[in-house]
Structures are given as structure tokens and as C-alpha cells.
Amino acid sequence: MISSETHFPCSTPRQPQGRKYLGGRINPNEIQPNPTVVDLIENTFLAYNAGRIREACHLLACKILIEDVTVGMSLAGALTPAGLGISAIIPLIKAGFVDWIVSTGANLYHDAHFGIGLPLHQGSPFYDDVALHDEGLVRIYDVVFEYDVLLSTDTFFREIISLPEFQRTMSTAEFHHLCGKYIAERERVLGIGTRSILSAAYQADVPVYTSSPGDSSIGMNVAAKAMLGNKLQFDVSADVNETAAIVFDTKRKGGRSAVLIFGGGSPKNFMMQTEPQIQEVLGLEEEGHDYFIQVTDARPDTGGLSGATPAEAVSWGKIDPTQLSDTVVVYSDTTIAMPLMASYALSIVQPRQHSRLFKRRAELMANLRRAAYGEKK
């Protein structure tokens, strides 16, 4: 719950009757040396996309991060190479602010570099890529690392997926939980603390899904081992049903569902399709997600935000139409918005108890199955 000492953002001053369109007066104080992130956002993020970041921070801290809200986070774009896993996502997981995750496989692959002790470096987007190639270096915009980082990470994944416990069909949540266990052990041996999202998620029992498991270096290594007889396969139907079961259980128990969407792509759609899966496919009565925050640089008129702007998502049943006021779209770079939002939330909201949804997957699936098909316990 919100700290009693810093609850001010969650109180909206009443406007005089007939003046409903006049919000808080734009009358900031001068920026002083060493302001806190909360002070900076409250005092200077007053309009345009700074204003949307402020609104997102308020929605996150004042309505989403309370006890009866289940929070899903989607991750797309090269976020982990920039260090956002360590700086922002892991602290949010540790604080109990994230209950389930959908991520690109690429984010989880590059996340693993940190957990197994491999370095990535700051660089420049203006380096000569031919020269980098000649020196055995790889560039992700202004992040640079040795090619051997990829080879060592590939070796790590091939070694663990050769183990007996991986020789079966499983959901991507099960797969990432097992990977997190081995990454956490590597972190322990190296003495580096928790540096991987998968490690943090394993320790907090946060299920992590990948909507396109073959579309990353992790999936490529799984495919390579399959040619040698490895039995690991991903059950994508289990992923679809488990994520729907998480949302359905939350809403049926009187709780609320929130989605934090960083970037777009397949993880965004996979997270949002939980409601159509419940309503359209399974035929269960539901109204949609209650809270929605998206950070994106895409545009709706080119199809880059197709089906996922809040108003458009209402037409799909993805968002409760009565909750449109509790939706925010921030048109910004995630590497800017996420650290600000995380710092704001961690500064004024007390840690929540972990929901440990990974351990509850069988129970949640049984509940969804009974509701949809009337099966007995």
C-alpha cells in the first residue's frame, strides 16, 4: 500500500463546479539541485508526453500497485541490453510489483548475459560496423560487446537444455522457471547478486512467457538440440490458456487486472489477447482489463498500434469500457520512461506480497476449465 508520508499524488483536488476542464495550474517551482525523481515528476512533468509519464506514474502508484490488482508486464524491443532488467525490472519484481511477464525471447536471451557474468559495454551508434566486425564485436545501437558473449550464452543454454528435467514438452513459463534456477545458481557461484530477470522471476515465482519462442537465440539453440534428439518442446497452447487463467481468476475473485506494456509487438498482443480468449473463444462473461499503461513510439495510423490503443481495445473486449479513464499511453522511449516510472513507484509505494502465480498455474487452469466446460474437481 502507499506510504502514509507520501500519498499526495493520489489525492486529486476538487475543481470548482463548471470548471471540470481546468486541471492543476501550470505554475512550477524552479528546479533546485538534487531533486528526487518524485519531486521532479510532480513539479515539472506537466504537459505533452512528460504529462503522460506523470499520469502513468499516478495510475501505477495510486491504483495499480494495491493488494487486489494482478499486474502483467510485457517487454518488447532491445531493453535488457541497455541494462533495464537490472536497473528497473528486477527491483519491481523484488518489490512484488510484477505478477506475470510476457517478453520477447531476445530480451530474455540478452538478459542471461548479465546473469552468467558476461559483460556488455556502452558504445556509440556511429561506430564503423565493418571495423567492429573485424574486431569480433557486436553492436546493438550504442551497446557493444564481444561476439564471444553470444557464443558463451549459446553454450550455457545448450548445456542446461540437455539436462534430464528439460526432456519433455512444457509451457514457456516452465522453461523460463528452470532456466532461472540455473542462472540464479550461476549468479550465486560468481557472487554477483541477482542480475537476471529470469533469476529474479524464479526466486519470486513470477511466470515468464514468450509469445514467439522460436524467434530468438534461445529458440534457435533449442531447435539445434532438437536435431540431435533433444525432447524439449514448447506448448504454446498452454501459454495461451495459462495467461488467460491468470486474468480470469483475478477477475472472478473480485480483483482487478492491470497491464504494463513496454514497447509493442507480439508480447503486447499476447498479453492483451487474454480477454478475447476468455470472452470470445471460451464464451465466459468478462469485461476486460481494468488498468492499462503503454509506453510506445509507434503510431495507430500505420497499424503499429493496431488493436491496442485503449479506445480501440475496448471494441475487442480487451479493456473494460467503464475503465477508459484508467488508461494511459506514453509516446516515449522505454529507456526513458521505465526508469522514471519504476523510481517513482518504488519511492512512494510499499512492497507488496508476492502472488507467486507460477506455483498456482495448475489451480488456475483447473478453475478456467471448470468455468468454460463444467468439469468437476
Look up the CATH number of the domain holding residue 53: 3.40.910.10
Residue 133 lies in a domain: yes
Residue 263 lies in a domain: yes
Tell me what pLDDT residue 11 has: 60
For the chain, the domain total comes to: 1
Residue 236 lies in a domain: yes
Residue 186 lies in a domain: yes
Q: Burial level of 139, CB count in 10 A (0-12/13-18/19+)?
A: middle
Tell me what pLDDT residue 253 has: 92
147 Cβ contact partners less than 8 Å away, ≥ 6 residues apart: 136, 137, 138
Tell me what pLDDT residue 12 has: 54
Residue 20 lies in a domain: no
Tell me what pLDDT residue 15 has: 52
Q: Which residue in 341, 74, 94 sits closest to 209, CA to CA?
A: 74
Catalytic (active site) residue 318? yes
Tell me what pLDDT residue 6 has: 40
Residue 80 lies in a domain: yes
Residue 15 lies in a domain: no
**Ranges in the chain, pLDDT < 70:** 1-9, 11-18, 305-308, 375-377
Give the domain extent around 67: 35-373
- Choosing from 231, 268, 318, 359, the catalytic residue is 318
Residue 186 near residue 117 (C-beta atoms within 8 A): yes
pTM for this prediction: 0.93
Tell me what pLDDT residue 124 has: 97
Residue 313 lies in a domain: yes
3-state SS, residue 23: coil
DSSP string, 53-114: HHHHHHHIIIIISSTTEEEEEEE-SS-GGGTHIIIIIHHHHHTT--SEEEE-HHHHHHHHHH
